[in-house]
Structure 1
Amino acid sequence: MIQSVIAKNLIASYLCANYQIGAGPDSISLRIDQYSEALAKFLISSEQSCAAIISADNPYSLRLSNEKNWDAHESLRNFLICHSYPIIESLNLDPADSWPAEKSFFVPGLDLNTAQTLGQQYDQNAIVWIGNDAIPRLILLR
């Protein structure tokens, strides 16, 4: 197994986080390595076999100002829109409240290689990727 340079406590935080797709009563809450019936139905109805959750906030888990995070988030949004990827606003939530909520995008149809490259482009430690099994997986990037 390949060793990661990411601190074990950070990886543990990523694994415990709630990943909320969308807002309101139709939002879907995901946990790493746990099957989601709602997500499976969404993937089928949108005719997608995969998806990714990518954030541009807090590169390498170093806390940035709200302004810098907003700028990075908007840069990621513009990239995704310019490349015609469908996006749904999402939040990455720490149940221990050690980290503030991080904005992210749920991107249906984003293949694993592209998702990894995009996460690395925005200096992220990890992304969440979902295959056709509707089980979110933590993918470490460093």
Structure 2
Amino acid sequence: MTNQLPAELFQAFTETHYIVHHQPPFTMNIGVFCPDLEKLMAERKALCAAFITAWNPFAQQLSDTENEARQHTLKANLTERGLAFIDGIGQHPGNGWPGEPSVLILDMGREAAKALAGQYEQLAFVWADQTAVPTLMVPD
């Protein structure tokens, strides 16, 4: 599925650190088992999780004001739907692209996450099942 992304974006998204502002905070990396995610999902009895942002649609930088409004709308949408989430940030370790505030949404299935990422015009999102190995996914 990730082959729909340009190679440079695929590489950047794969290298990005997906930091979850849980207590204590933890970092998810694509394709790497995350024991902290496994523990969180077990504690919350979640079967899966999605890490999604509303910032910078289609990888086009917007102003902080525009991005903050988009993220606020995403979080309000999740709250209205009764979905539990934890704030986070996606931050590449060295390419200079600003970190993007994000949310880890517990118990959001893959298809629902694809739809949500598409709704917020994202080129990709992170999803994990009970194996707690984050995977880079693209919306349809």
TM-score (norm 1): 0.94
- In 1, Cα distance between the equivalents of 2:95 and 2:79? 31
Q: Give yes or no for the alignment of 1:18 onto 2:17.
A: yes
- In 2, Cα distance between the equivalents of 1:73 and 1:45? 26
Work out which of the residue numbers 97, 111, 114 in structure 1 matches 2:112. 114
| Superposed displacement of residue 2, structure 1 | 8.1
- Name the SS of the counterpart of 1:69 in structure 2: helix
| CA RMSD across the alignment | 1.5
- In 2, Cα distance between the equivalents of 1:3 and 1:61? 16
**2:124 maps to what in 1?**
126
After superposition, the Cα gap between the structure-2 partners of 1:42 and 1:2, relative to the gap in structure 1 and judged at 3 Å, is closer
Q: Structure 1: which 5+ runs fail to align? A: none
1:48-63 alignment runs, 5 A limit: 48-63=46-61
Percent identical among aligned pairs is: 25
After superposition, the Cα gap between the structure-2 partners of 1:71 and 1:2, relative to the gap in structure 1 and judged at 3 Å, is closer
Query: Contact conserved, 2:20 with 2:87, CA < 8 A, in 1?
Result: yes
Work out which of the residue numbers 70, 79, 83 in structure 2 matches 1:81. 79
- Name the SS of the counterpart of 2:135 in structure 1: strand
- Name the SS of the counterpart of 1:120 in structure 2: helix
Q: Structure 2: which 5+ runs fail to align? A: none
Aligned length: 140
- Name the SS of the counterpart of 2:94 in structure 1: coil
After superposition, the Cα gap between the structure-2 partners of 1:69 and 1:18, relative to the gap in structure 1 and judged at 3 Å, is same
